[in-house]
Amino acid sequence: MSDDVRYPDWIAVDWGTSNLRVWAMTAEGEMLAHNGSDAGMSTLEPADFEVTLLAHIAPWLPAGRTTPVIACGMVGSRQGWAEAPYRAVPCPPSGVLIDVPCKDARITMHILPGLKQEKSADVMRGEETQIAGFLAREPRYDGIVCLPGTHTKWAQISAGEVVSFQTFMTGEMFDLLSHASVLRHSLGEGKALDEASFADAVSDTMSRPEAVATQLFKIRAADLLFGASEAVCRGRLSGLLLGLELAAARPYWLGQPVCLVGAPSLNTLYAKALVIQGLEAPQYDADEMTLWGLSAAYKESFS
């Protein structure tokens, strides 16, 4: 960052298991620059975090000034840079920042804590910041926020608080079945998904969730007997698993307003499944909501 370009007032960080993303931000919420890599928490030892962060943000740091860094995600886990203890729901999604000592005097490090649910045990770390960003955009919202991902969260929101939430390993199950089960021979490595097969599978599972185990094998059988395409098989698998999730999450979405906060491709998939159940769900981009949530934390702590 050259001398004629404004240095950031603070730096936003989303540090997950697999990826690191950083943004140079002004106090007014303008993004000046961004950076990122696959240097996720799972690839690092505790001593590596500060060095890795500085490698991504050093050009944004002026000499003789300390820049606050606000981070969310797995960087605050037990295996991360420093543990930011979970906060118990019901509570607002954004909590008090955990200060982390740094060797480099150009930065101060602050990590947002995750949330925990002790009755019906559950945890989230990172998604709470997306919820905080969503509520910064929609402060009067009461209803359900669904956050599609590898581990999808369904969160009940009321009066600005996360009242309860539930996690579904649907994305991870899809990945495991796609790559480590007999179904891998029928799905291939493509991304295309047959929408009709997806919709039929969602409806089938919603009506008979107890039959999922046998319906899963029928994907392979249909390929062997009738040459079902990879897109049809992939649509069928995705629909079966997502239908199973919707069946279990019915107490959250039935009769409630639902908003989706996730990657656009996953939002679209969940929206299609919910439409089959007669529910229209507005969609919000997870990256944008993360940045809104980090910005809200900055304003609350440093403005």
Share the mean pLDDT of the chain.
96
pLDDT tops 60 at residue 2: no
**Could you count the other beta carbons within 10 Å of the beta carbon of residue 109?**
23
Per-residue pLDDT tens for 134-187?
999 999 999 999 999 999 999 999 999 999 999 999 999 999 999 999 999 999
- Let me know if the fold of 10-125 is the same as that of 167-285: yes
Token pair for 164: 């309860």
If 0-12 CB within 10 Å is exposed, 13-18 middle and 19+ buried, where does residue 118 land? exposed
Structure-block tokens of residue 7? 């240095």
| Cα atoms in the Cβ-side hemisphere of radius 13 Å centred on 1 | 17
Residue 6 banded pLDDT, cuts 50, 70, 90: confident
Give the DSSP letter of residue 29. Answer: S
Neighbours of 137 (CB within 10 A): 15
Is pLDDT of 197 > 60?
Answer: yes
| Topology of the domain comprising 167-285 | Nucleotidyltransferase; domain 5 (3.30.420)
DSSP class per residue in 99-112: EE--SSTTEEEEE-
Distance in Å from the first CA to the final CA of the chain: 24
10-15 and 67-73 strand pairing: parallel
DSSP character string of 263-277:
-HHHHHHHHHHHHHT
Q: What percentage of the chain has pLDDT greater than the value 70?
A: 98
Q: Where are the domains of the chain?
A: 10-125, 167-285
- Residues 208-247 pLDDT 10s: 999 999 999 999 999 999 999 999 999 999 999 999 999 9
d(CA 242, CA 256): 19
The per-residue pLDDT for 4 is 62
User: Mind listing the pLDDT tens digit for each residue in 239-252?
Assistant: 999 999 999 999 99
Residue ranges with strand state E in the chain = 10-15, 20-25, 31-37, 67-73, 87-88, 98-100, 107-111, 115-117, 122-124, 143-147, 152-158, 161-168, 258-262, 283-285
How is the beta sheet containing 20-25 ordered, strand by strand? 31-37, 20-25, 10-15, 67-73, 107-111, 98-100
Is the pLDDT assigned to residue 106 strictly greater than 90? yes
* 1 vs 252, higher pLDDT: 252
Which pLDDT does position 89 carry in this prediction? 98
Q: What are phi and psi of 292, to 5 degrees?
A: -60, -40
- Whether 1 shows a pLDDT value over 70: the answer reads no
- The answer on pLDDT for 40 being more than 80 is yes
User: What is the side-by-side strand order in the sheet with 143-147?
Assistant: 161-168, 152-158, 143-147, 258-262, 283-285
**Yes or no: domain 10-125 corresponds to CATH 3.30.70.1060:** no
Mean pLDDT within 179-203: 96
C-beta of residue 168 within 8 angstroms of C-beta of residue 245: yes
pLDDT for 303: 78
Q: What is the mean pLDDT of residues 13-24?
A: 97
This prediction has a pTM of 0.95
Residue 123 pLDDT > 60, yes or no?
yes
Model confidence at 3, in pLDDT bands (50, 70, 90)? low
